[in-house]
Amino acid sequence: MSKNNVRHGEGETRRRGDLEPERPESMFSFSKLSPRHRVTVSPRRVSSGLRVVTFAAFCLLAAGCGVRFDMQDQPRYKAYKESDFFADKRGSRNLPDGVVARGFLKDDKALHTGKIDNPNLNAQVQTTTDASGNTLVSSFPNDIDEFPVPVTKELVDRGQDRFNIYCIVCHGPVGNGDGMIVRRGFPQPPTYHDDRLRNAPVGHFFDVITNGWGKMNSYADKLSAADRWAVVAYIRALQVSQNPEETLKMNSSANTNSAAPAAHGSPNANTHGGER
């Protein structure tokens, strides 16, 4: 009995089945009680008690199966269970086309893709070739050139924070492409400070972070769209920090706020494991 009591939440059938072999043990457990609590119960009385419990359990089971239809008894498939109802035998169905989870409708295209509204997929792109023979894309006809979010100091600060977690390891503290992983042998990324990337629209940076670029992975699973824009704003600030003559290209379609340059970090800052 004692053993039986601790088994919460198991099916009635199993409980019934378990009772039989345990009969001798439950008899002995009575004698293990302290003398004050000890009661004399004959084996015959124990087993008849068990029979009553068994019978009650059986009644409950019968009631559960046949008579009551509570929500807890509703017909349903367990995940990945086979189904005879559907032609393809899969109980787990695909979502209907076009279904979007509540709160996940990415209807602001500029914010979520960094692309213009009607991209021309056949637009010719210019390319240049770098010293090591890599082909570098240098025109970005389908990328937006204005931030789709207000550019504030908070945005740039947030971008600095995320950049120093996710990007500094390869791109280095100011974006020269001399991060610690690169010094240990990873292919060197291009500097952010040549004409090509200084003139690249903000949508291109967003695209690189979102979808990856060549040897670089996507960071879309680590940075929300808002955080990706924050990192792009910080890259712009880094660009100005290295080219003080440059005008700050922080135009935003969301409002006209411009953030002050917020570049920090010296080229050697990450020899100490980053700034933060």
Q: Does 1 bind ligand HEC (CB under 6 A)?
A: no
The residue from 48, 214, 255, 257 that contacts ligand HEC (CB under 6 A) is 214
Residue 208 contacts residue 232 (beta carbons within 8 Å)? no
**From 6-14, 82-90, 208-216, 257-265, span contacting ligand HEC (CB under 6 A):** 208-216
Question: How near is the Cβ of 130 to ligand HEC at its closest, in Å?
Answer: 9
* Tally of CA atoms within 13 A in the half-sphere of 85 that contains its CB: 7
Q: Does 190 bind ligand HEC (CB under 6 A)?
A: yes
Residue 179 contacts residue 269 (beta carbons within 8 Å)? no
Which tokens belong to 196? 């090509």
DSSP state of 66: I
Distances (CA, A) of 109 to 78, 141, 223: 37, 16, 17
Length of the chain: 276
Q: Does 187 bind ligand HEC (CB under 6 A)?
A: yes
Q: Does 205 bind ligand HEC (CB under 6 A)?
A: yes
Number of residues that bind ligand HEC (CB under 6 A): 21
User: Which 34-73 positions form the footprint of ligand HEC (CB under 6 A)?
Assistant: none
Q: What are phi and psi of 134, to 5 degrees?
A: -70, 140
Q: Does 274 bind ligand HEC (CB under 6 A)?
A: no
Q: Does 136 bind ligand HEC (CB under 6 A)?
A: yes
At which residue do the structure tokens 């389908």 appear?
Answer: 142
| CA-based nearest residue to 114, from 221, 235, 253, 248 | 253
The residue from 148, 172, 173, 189 that contacts ligand HEC (CB under 6 A) is 189
Q: Does 181 bind ligand HEC (CB under 6 A)?
A: yes
Residues that bind ligand HEC (CB under 6 A): 136-137, 166-167, 169-171, 181, 186-187, 189-190, 205, 208-209, 213-216, 219, 231
